[in-house]
Amino acid sequence: CGVFGIYAPEEDVAKLTYFGLYALQHRGQESAGIATFEGEQVHLHKDMGLVSQVFNEGILSNLPGQMAVGHTRYSTTGSSRKVNAQPAVVDTRLGTLALAHNGNLVNTIQLRQELLENNCNLVTTTDSEMIAFAIAQEIDAGQNWLEGCIKAFSRLSGAFSLVIGTPAGLMGVRDPNGIRPLVIGTLGSDPVRYVLASETCGLDIIGAEYLRDVEPGELVWITQEGLASYHWSQQQQRKLCIFEMIYFARPDSVMHNESLYTYRMRLGRQLATESIVDADIVIGVPDSGIPAAIGFSQASGISYAEGLIKNRYVGRTFIQPTQTMRESGIRMKLNPLKDVLNGKRVIIVDDSIVRGTTSRKLVKTLREAGATEVHMRISSPPVTHPCFYGIDTDSQDQLIAATKSVAEITKQLEVDSLAYLSWEGMLLATGEDPQSFCSACFTGDYPVTVPEQVKASKLI
Ligand code: 5GP
Ligand code: SF4
Ligand code: MG
């Protein structure tokens, strides 16, 4: 999911949020929503569909206020329905709160039980709504906004980057491991106003300047007075999702002072040094495989070419909820350039193989277009484990590398050769402490304990 928040009384906050969500559209395409605060009063509009389908000028002009919270959603828990769209809006003793969540909790069974025991009326099926109700419960028990939120966050386990609007101010929060990203931007200078977004591309689009990340276990509280920071959790060990860097976040978003485009190019270079093969051209799978393909070409000296053209108006295939939709989505998406491919030995670079359905089809497409050899190179290690923290990588039995060796996958995809990037290569290329990333989908080493009951639902 994509989250966005802004506190700027002198601006049209609904419109800025709309543009912010537009830039975060790749993080979720099922539903979109904006809640604005006009003093104590909350205005909300949310619906199924893309940001551009959910909002228009008329709707945005009915969302006045000094502060806004926005969300784009793809479902990881809770079904794809309008009631599950966010922001979640809940009434409390101190007024209404609006909450946008990115990530996935792992202790929802226990949390739901706790909430129901306290006569809480859960409306939807999402973990995000449970967070909003947990906060409301603490507030109603007599806490103020800050104390109440901190108490509620301590009851959560899993991944949560949150933007929360309250009548008293805007809040940005990351879980103690900072699994999902969240950045702070500034707007204007006198006075300085603050913006929160899942990625820096959400700041760029409205001309906001990147200030810093919200830190793991940190809570920022943004009001008329400016920005205050609190470390709400004692234990902090960053475990940023490495999949954000490899695939999920936009290539023009900046993490660790460089664009992910640059990081992904470096992955491609590393991949070439690990598994070079003789060929005529290197192509990338649009869009996600392109930067790594360019890096592979640079390091190998084999010329880069465009061999596949993408129809940009088809959504990310993996976001479609069913396998049938996914498969027809893939056919709509990529078309080969026969002139480029015919008679060539081709290296095709992609960021990841999850189920193997895209890859198998692509190989067939390349051969039909005249490629004489097809060598596949993947700029991440084999995905062997499901994600419980908010990336929708399916249950383990759907993951091709969970049950098959590289040799078996080579056969199944009908490629002449196949190589994945090493786990070390992927982490070393970040230039950061390898310990500061979650890479559980490649190792099964889950940084936040997943309850057995939850594990059983997705593991073979
Ligand atoms: P596959 O060959 O596994 O069907 O698809 C792999 C390609 O689709 C890669 O280009 C990757 O970018 C994208 N992809 C497909 N499904 C998923 C998914 O569930 N999670 C992620 N992160 N990427 C996916
Ligand atoms: Fe990211 Fe994989 Fe960890 Fe999930 S399991 S948070 S996709 S690195
Ligand atoms: Mg892709």
- Mean pLDDT throughout 263-275? 98
Which ligand 2 atom is at minimum distance from the Cα of 391? 7
Does residue 414 have a pLDDT over 70?
Answer: yes
According to the model, what pLDDT value does residue 235 have?
87
- Mean residue pLDDT of the chain comes to 93
- Is position 387 annotated as part of the catalytic site? no
Interface pTM, i.e. ipTM: 0.91
Does residue 318 have a pLDDT over 50?
Answer: no
Does residue 328 have a pLDDT over 80?
Answer: no
Q: Which ligand is closest in space to the CA of residue 106? A: 2
- 264 C-alpha vs ligand 3 centroid, how far in Å? 13
In a mutational test of the pocket of ligand 2, which residue from 1, 351, 389 has the highest number of ligand atoms less than 8 Å from its CB? 389
Does residue 187 have a pLDDT over 90?
Answer: yes
According to the model, what pLDDT value does residue 319 have?
52
Does residue 333 have a pLDDT over 80?
Answer: no
According to the model, what pLDDT value does residue 371 have?
98
CB 153 within 8 A of CB 169: no
Which ligand 1 atom is at minimum distance from the Cα of 288? 12
- Tens of pLDDT, residue by residue over 106-160, are 999 999 999 988 877 777 778 999 999 999 999 999 999 999 999 999 999 999 9
- 319 C-alpha vs ligand 1 centroid, how far in Å? 10
Does residue 96 have a pLDDT over 80?
Answer: yes
Which ligand 1 atom is at minimum distance from the Cα of 317? 15
Q: Give Cβ neighbours of residue 256 (< 8 Å, ≥ 6 apart).
A: 263, 430, 431, 432
- Mean pLDDT throughout 73-99? 87
Annotate 105-168 with DSSP letters as a single string. Answer: BS-HHHHHHHHHHTT----SS-HHHHHHHHHHHHHHTT--HHHHHHHHHTT--B--EEEEEETT
Q: What share of the chain is helix, strand, coil (3-state, %, to 5)?
A: 35, 25, 40
Does residue 285 have a pLDDT over 70?
Answer: yes
Give me the phi and psi of 104, to 5 degrees please. Answer: -145, 125
Q: Provide the β-strand partners of residue 58.
A: none
Confidence bin at 272 (pLDDT 50/70/90): very high
Which protein residues touch ligand 2 with a CB less than 6 Å away?
Answer: 179, 241-243, 387, 389, 391, 438-441
Q: What would the two tokens of residue 371 be?
A: 């490629």
According to the model, what pLDDT value does residue 457 have?
87
Task: Report CA dihedral (112, 118, 124, 130) to the nearest 10 degrees.
Answer: -60
- Tens of pLDDT, residue by residue over 9-57, are 999 999 999 999 999 999 998 999 999 999 999 999 999 999 999 999 9
According to the model, what pLDDT value does residue 332 have?
62
The whole model's pTM is what? 0.94
Does residue 329 have a pLDDT over 70?
Answer: no
According to the model, what pLDDT value does residue 3 have?
98
Confidence bin at 98 (pLDDT 50/70/90): very high
- 111 C-alpha vs ligand 2 centroid, how far in Å? 22
